[in-house]
Structure 1
Amino acid sequence: MEEFASATIVIPARNERGNIEPAVLRIPDFCSDIEIIFIEGHSQDGTFEEMERVKQAYPSKDIKVMRQPGKGKADAVFTAFDAARGDVLIILDADLTMPPEQIPKFVEALREGKGEFVNGSRLVYPMDDGAMRFLNLIANKIFSYLFSWLLNQRYTDTLCGTKVLRRSDYQRLKAGKAYFGDFDPFGDFDLIFGASKLNLKTVDLPIRYAARTYGETQISRFRHGWMLLKMVAFAFFKIKAI
């Protein structure tokens, strides 16, 4: 069983002021050295200022606060990954719909060799009422099927924000990222395609998806749905048509 000396939890956030302190308080002590990186993305509700306050309020925790230089979740995640020092990299969405208390089982799956790329899945266990709109649920199932077919790898949920991998594997993935280009505003597919290209052992880990308690979703079902359709077409010609 592999042991990890350190871990970095990356929390991208836009207009999530009310979730910043709860995120810190709810992250379990699953590792002796945990780095938390909050990366803020052009918020209008004082999220960045709340990050700074929380950092000062919990000096015993290794909390870093950053502002992303560009736009979109992918830019935020990869900017924070580049600044991370942990052996293991973990993405935690700031809406806390993936309860932070479930993080240890992702690290455990990596430690026990169940997977080298651990992908959260919201579509296995029953979820809280109102946690996901019906059309979003159907779309998620369809896209999971399409990307499973494209990659010859079963995914039950490609759009769950929580993904975990070794920093060393991220560095390898980053080196080959140009192969797929900068077409993914979310970052999920950059990681999924990169893991597939590196032949990383992938495992879906079911989570209990919760309803958000603060703020509103940043996802537009139609605009982002159209983006996802374009990604499917791009991936088909990049992967299946060669």
Structure 2
Amino acid sequence: MKSNYIILIPAYNAQNSIEELLARIDSVCPDVQIIVVDDGSTDDTAIVVKNVGSPIYLANKRNLGKGAALIRGIDYIKKYFPDCAAVIFIDSDLQHLPEKIPEFIDAFEKGRGTFILGKREFVLQKMPVARIVSNFITSAIVSLKVKKRIFDSQCGFRLVSLEILKLSAPFQSKKYEFETEILIKAAKNSGNFYHIPIPTIYDNEVSYINGFRDTIAFVRTFFKY
């Protein structure tokens, strides 16, 4: 049942998108518990989420990074929802269509994978060339590392079984390199990867990714794990 799943949303200054995201999730997955981890937002993200009412709201006192927000959420789920089947990760900026969530759940329930990844279409009309090149390179490197084909290693739209999350913990990466750490650790713990095509949505939103810093962090993560 869908109530066996948790949707985990890391949020930072997401006041303009989080309300719509939560409403759209509720329209397709009304029985799924949502957890929002506010990573030190300085806008009205907290007010918007609390006004919605249904999500569990966790807040970091300051901005620690996407990985730190996800780690906090995962730890909370392991403690308070130990019997959930899997966790769905989705970003707060509406780059991921929440209407695709049932497709992720269906693939998991049919045994197609214990780690379901979104696979975006990389075309110049939809994404900056620097982001396309960066993702192509990192995905190729991660594929070599885990000895399995990973098409979109940096996509934050994922479903991961709680069992794999427990086996792969503890996680250490506090920033965007968390996306890489969890892939590598899942592969080492017999994670079975499956990809679902998702639309590429890139509307010139504010990006909190630092190209040079995050590239260095990716390299460190690659060799560390």
What range describes the TM-score normalised by the shorter chain of this pair? 0.7 to 0.9
Q: Which runs of 5+ in 1 are unaligned?
A: 56-61
Alignment partner for residue 33 of structure 2, among 32, 35, 54? 35
* Pairwise CA distance, 1:36: 0.8
Alignment match, 1:226: 216
Classify the secondary structure of the residue corresponding to 1:17: coil
**Following the alignment from structure 2 to structure 1, what is the Cα–Cα distance between the partners of residues 69 and 101?**
20
User: CA separation in 2, counterparts of 1:168 and 1:29?
Assistant: 28
For residues 30 and 111 of structure 1, the distance between their equivalents in structure 2, rounded to whole angstroms, comes to 17
Aligned to 1:92: 90
* Superposition RMSD in Å: 2.2
| Partner Cα separation in structure 2 for residue 32 and residue 13 of structure 1 | 20
Task: Tell me: CA distance 1:95–1:32, structure 2 relative to 1, closer, same or farther (3 Å).
Answer: closer
- Does the C-alpha gap of structure 1 residues 25 and 212 become closer, same or farther in structure 2, counting only changes over 3 Å? farther
Looking at structure 2, the residues matched to 140 and 133 of structure 1 have their Cα atoms a distance apart, in angstroms, of 11
Quote how far apart the aligned CAs of 1:28 are. 5.3
Structure 2 partner of 1:115: 113
Q: Provide the C-alpha distance between the structure 1 equivalents of 2:99 and 2:180, rounded to a whole number of angstroms.
A: 25
Whole-Å Cα distance in 2 between the matches of residues 87 and 18 of structure 1? 31
CA contact (8 A) 1:110 1:116 kept: yes
1:193 aligns with 2:191: no
Q: Deviations over 1:145-167 (max 9, x none)?
A: 11111111100110000111222
Q: What is residue 147 of structure 2 aligned with on the other side? A: 152
**2:74 alignment counterpart:** 81
Evaluate the alpha carbon distance shift between residue 173 and residue 77 of structure 1 in structure 2; reply closer, same or farther with a 3 A threshold.
Answer: same
How far apart in 1 are the matches of 2:13 and 2:203? 13
- Which structure: larger Rg? 1
Identity of paired residues, percent?
A: 24
> What is the TM-score normalised by the length of structure 2?
0.87
Pair 1:139-2:134 in alignment: yes
Q: Structure 2 regions of 5+ residues with no counterpart?
A: none
Instruction: Tell me if structure 2 keeps the 8 A contact 1:51–1:65.
Output: yes
- Secondary structure in 2 aligned to 1:27? helix
Contact 2:36–2:58 (CA under 8 A) maintained in structure 1: yes
TM-score (norm 1): 0.81
**Which amino acid letter does the alignment assign opposite residue 142 of structure 2?**
F
User: Which amino acid in the other structure matches residue 212 of structure 2?
Assistant: F
Equivalent position amino acid for 2:60 in 1: Q
Cα distance between partner residues in 2 of 1:139 and 1:37? 30
Amino acid at match of 2:67: A
Question: How far off is 1:19 after superposition?
Answer: 0.8
- Separation in structure 2 between the aligned mates of residue 52 and residue 43 of structure 1, nearest angstrom: 14
Supply the AA of the counterpart residue of 1:35: Q
The runs of at least 4 consecutive aligned structure 1 residues that moved more than 6 Å come to none
CA-CA distance at 1:49 after TM superposition: 1.9
- Which shows bigger deviation, 69-78 or 201-210? 69-78
C-alpha distance in structure 2 between counterparts of 1:164 and 1:43, whole Å: 25
Instruction: Report the secondary structure of 1:18's partner residue.
Output: coil
Q: Deviation at 1:42? A: 1.3
Separation in structure 2 between the aligned mates of residue 169 and residue 229 of structure 1, nearest angstrom: 23
Q: Secondary structure at the match of 2:221?
A: helix
Following superposition of structure 1 onto structure 2, how do residues 159-170 of structure 1 map, counting pairs within 5 Å?
Answer: 159-170=154-165
- CA deviations 1:152-199 (Å, max 9, x no partner) are 11001100001112223322222xx36xxx246222122211211111
Distance of aligned partners of 1:32 and 1:20 in 2 relative to their CA distance in 1, 3 Å threshold? closer
Residues 184/123 of structure 1: CA separation in 2 closer, same or farther (3 Å cut)? farther
Query: What SS does the aligned partner of 2:56 have?
Result: strand
Aligned length: 218
Q: Is the 8 A contact 1:136 1:221 kept in 2?
A: no
- Residue 206 (1) aligns with residue 206 (2): no
**Deviation of 1:7 (Å):** 1.3
Corresponding residue number in structure 2 for 1:217? 207
